[in-house]
Chain A
């Protein structure tokens, strides 16, 4: 999809403006969906109710611009990059822009979500239209003042000029502009004229972050607020039988102990008192459903792979026939563990439930869904709920689930007090919504030197690959191709974890392709380039990856990494498409006393136009290192339903000394941008495994790799 410059839209579907009594213009705009027709713009800033709109541009008489960023910020950079799109087309200097986190709008908004690497992709056109429309209205106002045609006026960084050399700042015409008709046709800039998009723009919260200002959910407090520490069942499948809170109530600062469901909340004047109170609780638990252990999960998933109860998710040709006729059939089973999200800011949420309103504040990737769940749980109307989004100390998918906000609301409702629920690290890791354990079995057939068949089977806990994943590469490239999935429903809670399913699938498949190339006796790069040729004329709409763009990133990474030619290092290659972005990676490793050390990863990324190269590079590098960390070290096991790690002395996250240098190369083009929060993570485990194979001759098929090599496990 090329960017289009001329766009028509209905004003009602998109944008409304109003003059502010206090001066300036307010533009309320809708990011992804149409505003309801009955929505009226507020007329006075003092009466401004952010629930009436999704987000706003505010231009003051002095020409300063405030942009309300709508989407939750979890470290993916959208609080910076989304306003950049508006500012670009508004044609103001970035230095004159002030960004403010918008509040939740449950009435008119459908995608105030951080997830799926979709914010920039879906915001690309509407956000630029918003800026361009406001700019055109300012130009129209200036043109009317001068008595000239708007078409002969130009703008540059907040100043309008005409052919006679007259100049007006945006602030000087903002009042007139606000009373004009909203134009229905605006012209978007040619990408070559961008002066903000494509520039390195610092994180808008950088000053607050480096000086320790309150930004995060855990930093939020209100007068009279109780800190709540919650005791939850210690193992999945257990429920509360009885408890004794006598000791807990004697702890200094503890004010109340409240049972809710199978949980017990200790309310106190301070976090420490609440945590101490929780430790002093005595509870007995009973087994309510099966006590599952890791050995059971392994056996169950392998049983599913060995069985014949699958859902077929894509079927091309006849893999069984291809396998029967093959000269050679390869088959591997890949195993991946449960992992927790481990956001550095543990789960927490503030709730103040009173008879006339429900106030929620905290870090959440799904504010609208969570506000709705709270209303339903308490039998209240959704209109009674307000939700303020704080900056988030990481998300990675964990904060898509509002369990902690529901806990806060329920405890506040029962205690009749404002409450902040705070998870300890132990709570956070042991009451997780984990990346599920998944096993894959992949088989391939080779005949007359050609790859003729490919059969992927997935056995997973609680859910299976979703959406278009069964149609990712190599779908479309191989004549006989089939994807089958099977599932075991566990009582262990699982959910989305940065790049769900592909985060392990890509590594497994990219390892397997290394084996296929070896068995065929062909160069790994050539195998991919040739297979992608087969996809070029496809008319299959389920195939959304671009073979040309995948070939582009492959060529680039081969060149930049000097693949296959580097001395003294072992190089592993992987390429993948997910979250609408095309990525190729080469990992360079050395062996240090039998331990693989990843020294460098070269990455080529095609995400279309790079909106903010500084932030984009951070996402790419972070995704790669996160992917290495979790494929090398990440694993949580269960014994009779109880998680066997609960803090960083028993769970290894990647740290500085295990971190390679990541060398990032973006493909330059004018294609509309796609997301970067997830897509660089999935393939890197494959690149590392392929490099380790070159170094050791051993194919790693079980994550985390370090636990499945003959080396000492690392913690800390």
Chain B
């Protein structure tokens, strides 16, 4: 199996995997970074969202080969102490129900707020539309992104 060099959460990792292996499974199975979740495998639900060079990216359809050379951030590396403004807002609002999709929601929201620090409600709703929450915590997600935006300003 070929070896790939990945830069994840500021650290370098050398992983052996087939070139077509999605980054998602390398994170989860090879590197024990299980905060990034599997939901659909076809970039439709957003549970696997990570940052690549700062952009929200679906790790289930990004191959390990294409992830080489990128700065990858996962939920585990979003902040050192779980205190990124988006994580703080998620706690303030008590967003999660089952909690499974929330790392993907947080990664989508945090990348979005980097590019738009004072979004409107409609911009928040559009930005979060790609992430499914089966428990339907959407009202809380919307509110938490607003709270996070205020914290970041």
Interface residues of A (CB under 8 A from B): 74-77, 200, 202-203, 205-207, 209-216, 218-219, 221, 227, 252-253, 270-273, 342-346, 391-396, 424-425, 614-615, 618-619, 621-626, 629, 647-649, 653-657, 659, 661-662, 716
Contacts and interface: CB of A to CB of B under 8 A. Distances in A.
Contacts of B78: 211
A215 B99 contact: yes
Interface in B18-68: 18, 21-22, 25, 28-30, 32-42, 44-45, 47
- A interface secondary structure, majority: loop
Given A344-B100, A344-B132, A393-B100, A207 B82 contact: yes
Interface residues of B, number: 58
Contacts of B125: 656-657, 659
Contacts of A648: 40, 42, 44-45, 132
- B interface secondary structure, majority: loop
Given A344-B134, A615-B94, A209 B129 contact: no
B35 to A, nearest CB: 2
A202 B101 contact: no
B90 interface: yes
Contacts of B149: none
A661 B128 CA distance: 15
B72 interface: no
B102 A621 contact: no
Contact of B134 (A211, A212, A270, A653): A653
A209 B99 contact: yes
Interface string B74-108: 11101000100001001100101111111100100
Nearest to A626: B136
Contacts of A623: 136
A452 B132 CA distance: 46
The 4 A-B pairs of least Cβ separation, nearest first, read A212-B35, A75-B98, A393-B100, A212-B75
B137 A622 contact: yes
Contact of B91 (A207, A227, A271, A621): A207
A393 B41 CA distance: 16
B94 A345 contact: no
B140 interface: yes
Given A654-B136, A662-B139, A206 B94 contact: yes
Contacts of A214: 34
B139 A218 contact: no
B4 interface: no
Contacts of A615: 94
A272 B140 CA distance: 33
Given A206-B91, A346-B38, A392 B74 contact: no
27 contacts: A75-B99, A206-B94, A210-B82, A210-B90, A211-B75, A212-B34, A252-B18, A270-B29, A271-B29, A272-B17, A272-B21, A343-B100, A344-B37, A344-B39, A344-B101, A392-B98, A393-B98, A394-B100, A396-B134, A618-B94, A618-B135, A622-B135, A647-B40, A654-B136, A654-B138, A656-B138, A659-B139
